[in-house]
Amino acid sequence: MFDKILIANRGEIACRVMRTARRLGVRTVAVYSDADVDAAHVALADEAHPIGPAPATESYLNGAAIIAVAQRTGTQAVHPGYGFLSENADFAEACAAAGLIFIGPPPAAIRTMGSKSAAKALMEKAGVPLVPGYHGDEQDPVVLARAAEATGFPVIIKASAGGGGKGMRVVRRVDDFDAALEAAKREAKAAFGNDHVLVEAYLERPRHIEVQVFADSRGNTVHLFERDCSIQRRHQKVLEEAPAPGLTARQRTRMGAAAVAAARACGYVGAGTVEFICEEKDFYFMEMNTRLQVEHPVTELITGQDLVEWQLRVALGERLPLKQNQIAVSGHAIEVRIYAEDPARDFLPATGQIAHLRLPADMPYVRIDAGVREGDEVSVHYDPMIAKLIVWDDDRVGAVTRLRAALAATEIAGPANNVGFLATLAGHPAFASGEVDTGFIERYREDLLPPPGPVSDDVLALASLAVLLRRRQAAAERALRSSEPHSPWNDSRGWRLNVETHSRLEFRDGERAVAVVVNYRADGYALDLPGGRIEVTGEILASGALRAVLDGRRVTAAVVRHAGDMVVIVSGVSHRLRLADPLDAVADEPASGGRMTAPMPGKVVKVHVSPGQNVLRGAPLIVLEAMKMEHAISAPSAGRVAAVHYADGDLVEEGAELLTLETSTHA
């Protein structure tokens, strides 16, 4: 086994590789950018070294700096994780030239499968079925438009050099093709440094099923069964499970054989994933990811194998640990990706400090792969993943039940996050029945993303109780420090014998003002809420959790103060309130008028308008990029552009005024 390896990555995948390395007695070297000096993967490694400024192009994509660290530290091999340089053939060759083992496939296989066009040409020769469309090298917009018309709308434009939903656009009408092509190429160039695209028929209700393959340098290739990754938003995966629900034994066998054929066709070595798009009984090759996948833990849980250990052994030239007939499926596993993002705002990525983080403890049925800790910052520079939550049980019904329980035990305060959305998804009857395809979220959008409503009386009661208990606790601490600790003036309970005493708490629930009248009792409080009176008692535990009794019902919650707000977390779902100071008047926010502001921090990649220009409702104004994903800002109504405050390439903070639009009353 290796003595020392360098992990050329960050976050949860770097931590995950380090855990296997530590179990095998392998020392680890971490690299970090200026933004990650205090990151979790830096703390977990045996040693860590800086490689450059925060932008990935100057640090985690700086292959020369990473190789220099590897040579300086006496490292034998480099594990690239996923993303960044993991599918960069030039980096793999540079590692070999520096005397380092690249823990990944041969550069030739990376190049072949890294180009969707080249990969599909090779798959066609190998007899692997392909989606109808254009997979050639010609990139003239006229040629691509003609290919789209020949294929038949709807079509999907895909970046040839990458995945993850970047550089991808669905086009349903010929009139929309040119704009979609321009956007897809621009996004592909930003994400992968290559704007080459292909055009394929768009399947309306497809499933996204991928097969884990592994090959050694001695000619042995196996698959470790499939994963269903159909539930996606913005063409990016949200939830993965293994095995794929509803797949027949014959389909599983055919798909596994096709994946092995694909790996052999490109001379593959190491861990890889062959991705298929499926509709009813048919399946078609999409692409091959020449690396370990984000969702590999579900495969590990159903097969009982450590795929990172397999990677290390294969990189050393060893045979695969198991033959195909020795690999079997046991039970069912589901993974969800917990992101700092706002589902209510089309899943826009969020940034900021994680003020409170409680994740379920690792146990035989629940696994947590995380790369952040409480107090860490989610940066605009990198992927906003907080953690991966993976569950296992004997069957899918049990796994879904465990997923719901694990999400209910997850608490996050700070940046917006998708835990509540995931809990709603996991509880949806269509998901429980296995009705999964790539259109799941859009089809059930009204169920999964209902418009925000007022917080419940229970949430208001918990927030009020937390305020009252903390005031009592502060008063008790003051009393202990005073010369008369038992003086009645130090009693903050508010209760008096034979006297009805009460006070008032004012909250802001979004734009709504809510009053809670507190009636003091000898053993607690009676709260007058919008829906009526609730009798409450409770205590703040040493862990900081709030344990409450609401009208006889026991409820445990977290109430966290963050950025002036109170975040009440119940069963994994966060509710944000603001406690109004009665001494201060609540000032209404000024009307924004025609100010168009940035919905997220990011970079301006395209300004479509100039001052003085008239625009129609829905016209594109500015395109922002955050975490390599584009977000187009359109005109909310017809009007005239009065001012543009940023140019292409400028960085902006959330809430920054991008331009001023003088709106018109005309359509």
Q: Catalytic site residues?
A: 291
Planar angle of CA 463, 465, 466, nearest 5 degrees: 65
Residue 517: CB atoms within 10 Å: 14
On whether the CB atoms of residues 421 and 345 are closer than 8 A, the answer is no
Largest CA distance in the chain: 90
Edge-to-edge strand list for the sheet holding 168-171: 133-134, 197-201, 155-159, 168-171
How many residues are there in the chain? 667
What residues pair up with 213 in beta bridges, in sequence order?
A: 223, 272
Q: What are the residues whose beta carbons fall under 8 Å from the beta carbon of 143, sequence distance 6 or more?
A: none
Q: In this structure, are residues 40 and 372 in contact, taking their beta carbons and an 8 Å threshold?
A: yes
For residue 522, the cross-strand partners are none
Task: Name the DSSP class of 482.
Answer: S
Query: Exposed, middle or buried by CB within 10 Å (0-12, 13-18, 19+), for 4?
Result: middle
In 3D space, the residue among 273, 333, 326 whose CA is nearest the CA of residue 302 turns out to be 333
| Angle in degrees, 0-180, between the axes of helices 177-192 and 141-151, rounded to the nearest 10 | 120
Angle between the N-to-C axes of helices 63-72 and 89-97, in degrees from 0 to 180, rounded to the nearest 10? 30
**What six digits make up the tokens of 6?**
């360098």
Distance CA 10, CA 48 (A): 11
Alpha carbon 390 to chain centroid distance?
14
The three-point CA angle 622-589-663 to 5° equals: 40
Distance CA 231, CA 438 (A): 5
| Cα four-point dihedral sign 347, 349, 352, 355 | positive
In sign, the C-alpha dihedral spanning 125, 128, 132, 136 is negative
Cα-Cα-Cα-Cα torsion 637, 638, 641, 642, nearest 10 degrees, comes to -80
CB burial readout 60-79, b (16+ within 10 A) else e: bbbbebbbebbeebebbbbb
From residue 465, give the alpha-carbon distance in Å to each of 111, 150, 537, 538: 60, 65, 8, 7
